[in-house]
C-alpha cells in the first residue's frame, strides 16, 4: 500500500508540476514580448535631438507682376514625417494665401512653401528662387514682413 500511495503522490505532484511549469512558460513568454515591444518604444537619446524645421513662402500670380516672399521662419513644434515631408504643408500655404487675400487684398495668388531642417540649404534655395524671378525684369519682388505674417502650426 505504501508503494501504491507513493506512486499516487508522485503522479499528482508531477501533474501539478507540469501545470505550474505551463503557467511559468506562458508568463515568461508574455514578459519577453513585453520587453521586446517596450524596447522599441523608448525615446531616442540626448544625441538624437529633434531638429528644427524652417520654411519660407512664395506667392506668385499670373495676373500680377508682384511676387511675395516671406522670411525664413522656424516652424513651431513641427517634425518632418518618415519620408521627409512637412505634415499638413497645404495648410501652411493656405495661411499665406489667406494673409494675402484678407490682409493685403491680393487675389488669385498661387502660394508655395519651401521647407528644410537645414537652414543654410533653405537660404540657398530661397536665393535660387529669388534669382529666377529677378531674371524677369518686369517682376517686382515684395518681401512680407515677419512682424506682419508668421506661419503657425495647424490645429489637429
pLDDT (tens digit per residue) in 29-71 = 888 888 887 777 665 555 456 789 999 999 999 888 999 999 9
Task: Indicate the average pLDDT of the chain.
Answer: 86
Q: Residue 16: pLDDT band by 50, 70, 90 thresholds? A: confident
CB 39 within 8 A of CB 111: no
- 21 vs 15: CA distance, rounded Å: 10
Per residue in 126-140, pLDDT (tens digit) is 999 999 999 998 999
Angle 88-145-87 from CA coordinates, rounded to 5°: 10
Tell me the three state secondary structure of residue 139: coil
Burial letters 130-146, b for 16+ CB under 10 A, else e: eeeeeeeeeeeeeebee
Domain boundaries, the chain: 51-144
Amino acid at each position: 500500500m505504501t508503494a501504491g500511495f507513493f506512486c499516487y503522490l508522485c503522479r499528482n505532484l508531477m501533474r501539478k508540476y507540469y501545470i505550474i511549469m505551463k503557467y511559468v512558460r506562458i508568463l515568461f513568454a508574455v514578459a519577453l514580448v513585453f520587453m521586446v515591444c517596450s524596447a522599441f518604444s523608448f525615446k531616442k537619446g540626448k544625441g538624437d535631438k529633434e531638429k528644427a524645421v524652417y520654411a519660407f513662402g512664395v506667392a506668385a500670380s499670373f495676373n500680377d507682376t508682384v511676387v511675395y516672399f516671406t522670411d525664413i521662419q522656424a516652424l513651431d513644434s513641427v517634425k518632418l514625417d518618415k519620408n521627409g515631408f512637412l505634415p499638413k504643408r497645404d495648410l501652411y500655404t493656405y495661411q499665406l494665401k489667406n494673409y494675402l487675400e484678407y490682409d493685403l487684398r491680393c487675389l488669385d495668388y498661387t502660394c508655395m512653401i519651401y521647407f528644410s531642417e537645414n537652414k543654410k540649404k533653405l537660404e540657398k534655395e530661397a536665393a535660387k528662387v529669388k534669382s529666377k524671378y529677378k531674371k524677369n525684369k518686369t517682376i517686382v519682388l515684395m518681401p512680407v514682413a515677419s512682424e506682419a505674417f508668421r506661419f503657425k502650426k495647424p490645429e489637429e
